[in-house]
Amino acid sequence: MLKLLQADMLKVKRKWLWFLVFLGPFGVIALQIVNYRVRYDYLIQQQPDVWKGLMENVNMFVAPAMLLGMTIIASQLANIEHQQSSWKHLLSLPIRRRDVFSSKFMIAVMMLIVSCLLLFIGTILLGVALKFGWDFPFQSLLGNSFYPLLAGLPVLALQIWLSITFQNQAYPLTLGISGAVFCMLSYKAPVWFIWKWPLILGDQDPNRFVLAGILVGFIFFLIGMVDFQRRDVK
């Protein structure tokens, strides 16, 4: 399994995926820099707890960015194998198919964890730069940065599965991008709409979304893995 991860890490070389991992959080923070420069006074007025206000603003953009990132990373990881029909060779090596599938999933999770970490650091730096002081709420900030990933795991599992199953990446990309767009409009969507989970709506306990995300994400991952094991390789 470890060997597979190493091999997969080697394959993403020169694929610009790490750049994407950096671009996501950078973009979100950059938008907030603009936001605060334009209407600093208004924003401070709205939410006297400045760190909480910052987190709410950041969070607005994190969910769609996260969903887009999941879609693109899943598609790119699968496409490495689709491009020169490498699946047939990879799967005729003495390795388990479920490990191949898990490895792709884990690489995607690892990349997104790095993104979340960068977001976490970025949010703190932005807050400090806005003179909110160094006594930031560490735990809430950590949660704000990582919860969208955990709550979004079902979407990631789904995207990985679809990207690997369909050679034509238009299908998973369409679904993923639509999901990212609709997630911003989905405050009132029913609870089963998994694309709204990364929003971690304020009025409800965020832990519910996180727990549901991990659980449903794991189920989707298992379904995808079993399907991948059974599938004939063209």
Partner 1 sequence: MKEIIVQTTDLVKKFKGRPAVKSVNLSIEKGEIYGFLGPNGAGKTTTIRMLLGLMKPDSGTIELFGKNVKRSHLEALKKIGSLVESPSYYAHLTARENLEAIRKLIYVPKSRIDEVLSIVRLTEDADRAVKGYSLGMKQRLGIASALLGNPELLILDEPTNGLDPSGIHEIRDLIKSMPQQYGITVLISSHLLSEIDQMATKVGIISKGEMIFHDSIEALRNKAQTQIKLRVENAEQAKNLLLGKGFVLKQGDNALHLKDVRDHNVAKVINLLVQNGIGIYRVEEQRKSLEEIFLGLTDEGGAKHAKTSAS
Positions in the binding site for partner 1 (CB under 8 A): 3-4, 6-7, 10-11, 13-15, 80, 83-96, 230, 232-233
Distance in Å, CB of 110 to partner 1, minimum: 17
Residue nearer to partner 1 on the CB measure, 97 or 208: 97
Distance in Å, CB of 7 to partner 1, minimum: 4
Distance in Å, CB of 101 to partner 1, minimum: 14
Distance in Å, CB of 203 to partner 1, minimum: 46
**What separation in angstroms does the CA of 138 have from each of 44, 49, 95, 204, 229?**
20, 14, 42, 21, 42
Residue nearer to partner 1 on the CB measure, 14 or 188: 14
How many other β-carbons are positioned within 10 Å of the β-carbon of residue 98?
Answer: 14
Residue nearer to partner 1 on the CB measure, 9 or 125: 9
Residue nearer to partner 1 on the CB measure, 31 or 90: 90
Contact of 200 with 66, CB cutoff 8 Å: no
Distance in Å, CB of 118 to partner 1, minimum: 24
Residue nearer to partner 1 on the CB measure, 47 or 79: 79
Distance in Å, CB of 87 to partner 1, minimum: 8
Helix axes 206-230, 153-165, angle to 10 degrees: 20
Residue nearer to partner 1 on the CB measure, 93 or 185: 93
Contact of 15 with 78, CB cutoff 8 Å: no
